[in-house]
Chain A
Amino acid sequence: MKIRRRSSNLLIEPPSSATGDIAFNLIVFFLVCASVQPDSGRHQTLPRSEETEQKEEKDKNIEVVVKRQVALVNGDPVQPAEFQARLAALLAGKPRPEDKVVVVKSDDDVPYHFWMTVTSQIEDAGGIITLQIEEEREVQVP
């Protein structure tokens, strides 16, 4: 005698009351994933600015002028590949921290990525960056 297996046509559905909880847990998971990514960056120590009148005499500090695509060390254009080695050589004979100050003057149109490359190389060579920013003053002529 054949015994028929009873086939149940019941549809087993997950309880719909749990969907809200599932969504809640998914959101918490993705939020935690997003918030654990820490910012990474490069520390830079800059001295506070002080107003100084333009001096006639040349300072003994190294001066770096940053143009749009090239940097000049004490007036001489230096290729990016040689820049750090050149600065390291100039700073090698200066043991005092105050002599390691490198005055950085940038043109208005210098992009941030190039400025960052130059200033990073100055710091890696052992220099202490000081920004030279020209202040604009309006003078009324009578």
Chain B
Amino acid sequence: MKIKRRATRADVPSMAMGDIAFNLLIFFVILARAQDDSHLQWTPAEATNIETAGHSVVSVLIDSDEKLYLNGQPIGEASLESKIDELLRDFAVGDRTVLLKVHREATAMRFEPVIEAISNVGGELVHIVEEDRDE
């Protein structure tokens, strides 16, 4: 007599799919956050005639403690110029936008060398500021 082997079905529980997707998403969000500068503390200055900055691969930030960051990562003033040059190397004129985010109370001693470094490598400088509504 032949005894039939009982076929057992092993399904992945579909109930867990949503949770898996949720955790994956959280993982990628945290990973993305580490590369941008949205976690840094700074208050923008105000200016008139502002326009959309457009797409940029380089973002330089001076936070409220006057610390310098390039694309969200801390960097020294001495190596800033070479790093920006490295990032902008493959970009043609018109696409070399560099976003500069400076805390409104940061002093010239700190931000002027940064502006100089950006202009030296041919970066197209955009000061990220807020629209001055008092004007």
Contacts and interface: CB of A to CB of B under 8 A. Distances in A.
Interface of A: 16-24, 27-28, 31, 38-49, 66, 106-113, 115-117, 120, 124, 131, 133
Given A31-B29, A40-B53, A46-B115, A113 B108 contact: no
Nearest to B123: A46
A108 B107 CA distance: 6
A49 B112 CA distance: 12
Given A42-B126, A49-B120, A112-B106, A19 B53 contact: no
A41 B15 contact: no
Nearest to A16: B15
B112 A20 contact: no
Interface in B109-135: 109, 111-113, 115-116, 118-120, 122, 124-129, 131
A24 B22 contact: yes
Given A46-B115, A48-B119, A124 B18 contact: no
B125 A45 contact: yes
Interface of B: 14-22, 25-26, 29, 45-54, 62, 99-100, 102-109, 111-113, 115-116, 118-120, 122, 124-129, 131
Given A43-B124, A116-B127, A124-B48, A27 B25 contact: yes
B104 A41 contact: no
Contacts of B25: 24, 27-28
A131 B127 contact: no
Contacts of B54: 38
Contact of B105 (A27, A28, A111, A120): A111
Given A17-B15, A20-B19, A44 B126 contact: yes
Given A41-B99, A112-B102, A107 B108 contact: yes
